[in-house]
Amino acid sequence: MTAGCAARPRATWHGVNKGGKSVGEISDRIEALVATRHGRLAEVDTEIGAWSEAEAGLARIAKSLEAPTGRAEGAAAEEAAVLAGLRSEVAATLEDLRAARCRFVRPTINIGVSGKARVGKSTLLQSVSGLSDDQIPTGPHVPVTAVRSRIMQSDRRRVLLRMHSPESFLADVVAPYHQDLGLEGMPRTVEEFRHWTYPRPDPDDPSQHSDNALLVNLRSIQASLDSYADLLTGSQIERGLEGLRPFVAYPTREEVSAGTTHRPHLAVREAIIESPFPHGDVSRLVVVDLPGLGEVASGAEERHVRDLRHDVDAVLLVVRPSTTAAYYTNADDRALKLLDKARGHVRTPGHYVHFVINHGGESTGGIEALRNDLRTRVNASTDGGFYQVLETNAIDPAVVNETLLIPLLESLSRTLPEMDDEVYSGVMARAADAARRISEALPQLLAGRAGADELAHLEQELLQQRAAELRWKVDQRLRAVVEELWRAAHRDGVDERYTNAVEAVFDEVRAWAEDGFGKGTARWQEEARLIMPTERAASPFLVEEMHRVRVEVTRRFRSLDDFFNEQLARTWEDIAEAFREPCAPLLGKATGKQALHHLEGRLRASSCPVLADAVRDLLQTRLDYRTHLHPRVREELDGFSFEGVDPDTGRPRVALLAPADEAGVELLEQQLRERTHKAAFETMVALQREAVLPALVLYAAVKQFEDELILSADSRREFLRLARNHRDLLWPDDFGQLEASAKRAHDLAELAHGVGEALARHAARGDEGA
């Protein structure tokens, strides 16, 4: 039953018990019990919430301890051990609280029916519930009940089958066999289980002989997989009560003999059967058909205990004399011990477990023998010494009602409130105890660790330190670049790469001029011979040619822009590399100008406008022939025109003069070539004398960048912002550790706070251990 179920109608039973108590009184007590239980839910939920948080906090602390903490290995191991102990403590406390919650949220009295196979449990359930073999199968000679069933009184007739998922099937059905058989490995999927090869006991190895039964069961489960594999959905199936047997019972002997592999019950985790009970309105009663507890595989025991603690208020341990064994057996004893585990905080075992002798159809002698055996071995030779022993005939519903149901309910109506108190105080005391233990252990966990506030300060101080280091490192590397540029501009003098580039252009111009000014000597002369006589003068041709030559010389020298672009690219590369080591992640894989663009983007995104603008302005630096050098050499070319002014006399003069005839053509070519050579040479020399200019431009630009980046009033503040925004990228180890420590400290602080509150709560309630 789960919390949140609708309140059921008031319980009423018919009849009067042997003690003369009216069923009405029993019903009233049970109603009061249920109401009291519900009243405790709020506190239990509060504890569950608090301890869940504590559990999560301890989990986070344990996880954070997996990362390097800088502590000594021994101290870390000790710490881990303490944490493991606390986590175990908290887990047990939470388990306790959840079991209590299941108890207090239940609107019904759940009675479990257990006992060895063949003692009449199913018959008893039929008598109580009015259901038939089809829903609660019985059968001679072999175990029948395969699935835990709950039968609850309801106006409806239906069954809710909770199906295994593949994972729960493997964990709850297959895994216990593997564990008991000591098999290596475990199938991870149903298909793996299908193809798993199980061994056969070696006849020559006696130690394996006892495994045969389990292996037979396991192989039969495997062999019948096709009959239930499709049912492993993890869902809940609602169906009618007819044809329920295969889902709740083992195959019949006949079916087994016939070699059946139809075992759909293996896919059923639990069956909840709703049906009107025959004897009165017992809406607060649920009977739970438990499998033979002494016969379950060891791995399944813990699950059954947990289920019992969560779902069952009391257990009927049904025993029955038989012609072959009338006594209280070891299996019964194992079941009793298991039930004792399941009682939890209930102090009196006899309140939790009630023996039921099913004497239906058995001899008096056998009944008496069993009665005496129980009296001696279970109750220390005192009637009802430790456990109540009820007797009934399971096959007769009326007898069951008279001799079992009514007395049991009467007993429970008295003992359940006490048990509830015991459970309640027990879980609260345990919670208080756990809180105390955690409180005692916290100093050890906190030892040598900074608190959350101190860590916050450490974080800020570390960030400031890293930001300062970042600025220093960038400055150091940038300064080297600036110094190199200064040397190039002021001390090293002329850059031979530049002068060589200029000289190369001059050589090109010379070669061009000697090749008939790009036309070829023969063609140039031919043109001159055609044009000059036509114009009756040399000047029209020469004017055009001199313009063309002047423009060509300028155009060729503009190819120096290739050299300048290379200079700029080299400078961007050097500056990008200045940032590479201190803050490589900010540049990505880009280099040179692209890397600096990335950096600008990062700076702007980090609210560092001054630094971003410095990078932007740097990248806008221009170094080109037209802007920087041509104005300085323009004068050399301005004089290269057909007409000009004599600098000495101030009078107009003509640069070239020759007859416009055959002899004049060669002379003009020679003169024009000489003037071209001279103009190009003067331009080359002028450019070479300005060889320091490119270095000066670059030095000035980078120096300005350095000033803005490092020496401006905003530099420190913006470097700190950059560091803060990208600290995990730049220093993942440093801040990762600090963050882990801070989280740990925070979790410890929260844990301490939670524990403190728990202690206060328990102290206010007067819980033991608080």
Partner 1 sequence: MSGGRVAFDIGLVGPSGVGKTSLISAVFLAGQDVLAGSGVTVVADDEPTAGLMAYHADALAGVVQRGQFVSESLSASKEVVDFRLRMDPGLPDGGIALHIKDYPGGWLDPKARQDSAGIKKSWEPLQDFMLRSSVLLVPVDSPSIMEAVTPRQSRAVPMLLRLHDTMQVLRLWARGRAAAPESPALVIFVPVKCETYVRPAHDHHRARRSDRSVELYEQFRTTYAGCMKAVRTEAPHAHMLYLPIDTLGCVDRVYVTWPPDPDTGVRCEPHFRIVNDGKRDIRGVDDLLIALCRILTEARRKAEQDHERTLTEQHRASQSYANRDRGLVGNFFRAADNVIAGRIGRSELIRLTEPDAPLSLLRWLRIAGLGQWAREQQTSDRIGQERLRALEALHNLQAVVDDLAKQDYSDRVRRL
Instruction: Rule CB under 8 A: say whether 675 interacts with partner 1.
Output: yes
> Contacting partner 1 (CB under 8 A), which of 67, 678, 700, 729?
678
How many chain residues bind partner 1 (CB under 8 A)?
25
Binding mask 690-729 for partner 1 (x = CB under 8 A): -x--------------------------------------
Nearer to partner 1, 450 or 655 (CB): 655
User: Min. distance of Cβ 681 from partner 1 in angstroms?
Assistant: 3
- Give the H or E element holding residue 506: helix 496-514
Contacts of 399 (CB under 8 A, 6+ apart): 127, 392, 393
Minimum CB separation of residue 499 from partner 1 in Å reads 4
Please choose, out of 408-416, 496-504, 563-571, 762-770, the segment that lies near partner 1 by the rule CB under 8 A: 496-504
Give the residue with the Cβ less far from partner 1, 290 or 553: 553
Q: How far is the CB of 509 from partner 1 (least distance, A)?
A: 10
- Strand ranges for 359-424 from DSSP E: 388-392
- 742, 459 contact by CB (below 8 A): yes
3-class secondary structure, 444? helix
Choice between 565 and 670, CB closer to partner 1: 670
Residue 680 Cβ vs partner 1, minimum distance, rounded to whole Å? 7
Q: How far is the CB of 638 from partner 1 (least distance, A)?
A: 10
Nearer to partner 1, 427 or 679 (CB): 679
Q: Which is nearer to partner 1, 402 or 545 (CB)?
A: 545
- Tell the smallest beta-carbon distance from residue 487 to partner 1 (Å): 14
Q: Could you say which residues in the range 101-160 bind partner 1, by CB under 8 A?
A: none
Beta bridge partners of 176: none
Binder of partner 1 out of 36, 165, 688, 737 (CB under 8 A): 688
Which distant-in-sequence residues (6+ apart) come within 8 Å of 364 by Cβ?
A: none
Question: Which is closer to partner 1, CB of 15 or CB of 639?
Answer: 639
| Distance in Å, CB of 485 to partner 1, minimum | 18
Check: CB of residue 720 under 8 Å from CB of residue 426. Answer: no
Residue 711 beta carbon to partner 1: minimum distance, rounded to whole angstroms? 34
Q: Rounded distance, CA 514 to CA 300, Å?
A: 105
Alpha-carbon gap, residue 158 to 524, rounded angstroms: 114
Q: Give helix then strand counts, H and E, for the chain.
A: 28, 11
Binding segment (CB under 8 A) for partner 1, from list 136-144, 270-278, 563-571, 685-693: 685-693
What is the C-alpha separation between 412 and 603, in angstroms, rounded? 75
Q: Which residues pair with 145 in a beta bridge?
A: 249
Closest to 431 measured CA to CA, from 145, 68, 759, 80: 759
Give the three-class secondary structure for 694. helix
504-563 positions binding partner 1, by CB under 8 A: 506, 510
Distant-in-sequence, close-in-space partners of 333: CB < 8 Å, separation ≥ 6: 294
Enumerate residues 642-671 that contact partner 1 by CB under 8 A: 646-649, 653, 670
Candidates 369, 531, 685, 693; binder of partner 1 (CB under 8 A) is 685
CB of 588 to partner 1, least distance (A): 40
Q: ∠ CA(218), CA(220), CA(226), 5° rounding?
A: 115
Question: Whole-number minimum distance, CB 672 to partner 1, in Å?
Answer: 12
Judged by CB under 8 A, the chain residues 455 through 494 that form the site for partner 1 are 493-494
Cβ at position 667, least distance to partner 1 in Å? 9
Where does this chain touch partner 1 (CB under 8 A) — which range of 33-41, 100-108, 190-198, 641-649?
A: 641-649
Q: How far is CA 292 from CA 118, 121, 255, 353, 486, in A?
A: 10, 10, 22, 15, 94
Of residues 183 and 509, the one with the C-beta less far from partner 1: 509
Q: How far is the CB of 562 from partner 1 (least distance, A)?
A: 19
Here the tokens at position 303 are 């699950």
Nearer to partner 1, 91 or 696 (CB): 696
The candidate with the shortest Cα–Cα distance to 219, out of 178, 189, 257, is 178
Q: Are 285 and 9 in contact (CB under 8 A)?
A: no
8-state DSSP, 8: P
- Residue 295: CB partners within 8 Å, gap ≥ 6? 116, 117, 143, 331
Closer residue to partner 1, CB minimum distance, 254 or 646: 646
**C-alpha to C-alpha distance for 687 and 632, rounded to whole angstroms:** 8
Beta-carbon neighbour count of residue 570 at 10 Å?
A: 12
Interface residue list for partner 1 (CB under 8 A): 493-494, 496, 499-500, 503, 506, 510, 639, 646-649, 653, 670, 674-675, 677-678, 680-681, 685, 688-689, 691
